[in-house]
Amino acid sequence: MEVDWIEAIYRIDSDMPLEKAARIIAMEESTGTWTEVRTTDRDLGFVTATVGDIDERARTASVIYPLDLFEPGNVPQLLSVVAGNLFGLEQIRKVRLEDVIMPHSYVRRFPGPRYGIEGMRHLVGSERRPHVGTIVKPKVGLTPAETAKVAFSAALGGVDLIKDDETLTDQAFCPMTERIPEVMEVLDKVWEETGRNVSYAVNVTAGPEEVAERADIASKWGANMLMIDVLTSGFTGLLELRRETSLPIHVHRAMHGAITRDPDHGISMKVISRLVRMLGGDQFHVGAITGKMDATAEEVLPLDRILTEKWHGLRPTFPVASGGLHPGCVADEVRHRGMDIIMQAGGGIHGHPAGTRRGAMAMRQAVEAVTQGRTLEEFAVEHEELRQALEKWGVGKKEEYYAE
């Protein structure tokens, strides 16, 4: 049954009873203020939030916000309500927005992914297997020609996706209008030699208006995919990009740790993942279980489900595993997360003892092993590139990621 409210779930740390703390949040984020006011005699119950379920053990409480409180299609206004002043309330030590449950009538005002998982598989021409992606390394400093050279090696080695680093946009040492044609030219050569389509996600991160301008420029220079850092550009930047381009959109979560890392304060990645899917991200970084970032299966798997489960008719978003991945991580990631995942490796490809091309081959060999139900160690006996990668990095999570 369709409901006419949005439910926000909060984890609350306060000296006062949980229900009282939730009532304070409900008042602050809807019609209340710190003292009694009499500016109208009308009943404002139609926009007044109320307290929903209380879970003392989990220290969570839900707040029910009437749908009339929200402007359709406006994510900044949504966040101003469910994630607004409550973080600064003196009576509450810490509060974390864990999730937001939205009705179909609200979600349907947003476009969702244009391509989604199946659309990206069609563009690449892949069967149901994990996709392999890479980030050009070093992170920044390469010229357009050097960037293209690295991209060529990775593409020949078998990656499905090459993306700019989240810190590379249109700097003087590697202008976008020079970088794109250089990279796309070598990807055309890869297609001629192998018959494989490789996507190149060009980072167009900027303010909302400039994002649209850069998307248009990138398209004119032959780009076949775009990338945006959603939290630094803003959610409106992603929505503008979705509206202004027909190209697939790869979404990075740079800066998320400042918002999501504290388990008792801030905003959960669940919320960010829902918004990215609503606003049109075809691919989205949600972390890796075995990588260098601070994440566990219990944290990552719910994000995969949010991106891929049936939800208000929106296409699913392709989850991206990234951050310290290498061929030895593939089996564990797939064992937990299944085949609908992008294995995004930077150093884990370019740091291969035999170079970038062999590193990409090793990642594809690891994917082939798991899709065939074989162990990485067994497959490595027959594949030199994978064997070298496992000898260097091992199998599973590394203990150290940065040399002294």
Catalytic residues: 137, 252
Beta-strand relationship, 199-203 and 50-55 = unpaired
Tally the C-alpha atoms within 13 A of residue 125's C-alpha that lie toward its C-beta.
9
**What does the alpha-carbon distance between residue 82 and residue 73 come to, in Å, rounded to a whole number?**
15
Q: Own/partner pairs for 382-391, CB < 8 Å, 24+ apart? A: 385/352, 385/354, 385/358, 385/359, 385/361, 386/327, 386/361, 386/362, 388/352, 388/353, 388/354, 388/358, 388/362, 389/326, 389/327, 389/328, 389/348, 389/352, 389/353, 389/359, 389/362, 389/363, 390/327, 390/328
Core vs surface per residue 318-328: b (16+ CB within 10 A) or e: bbbbbbbbbbb
* Contact criterion met (CB below 8 Å) for 281 and 201: no
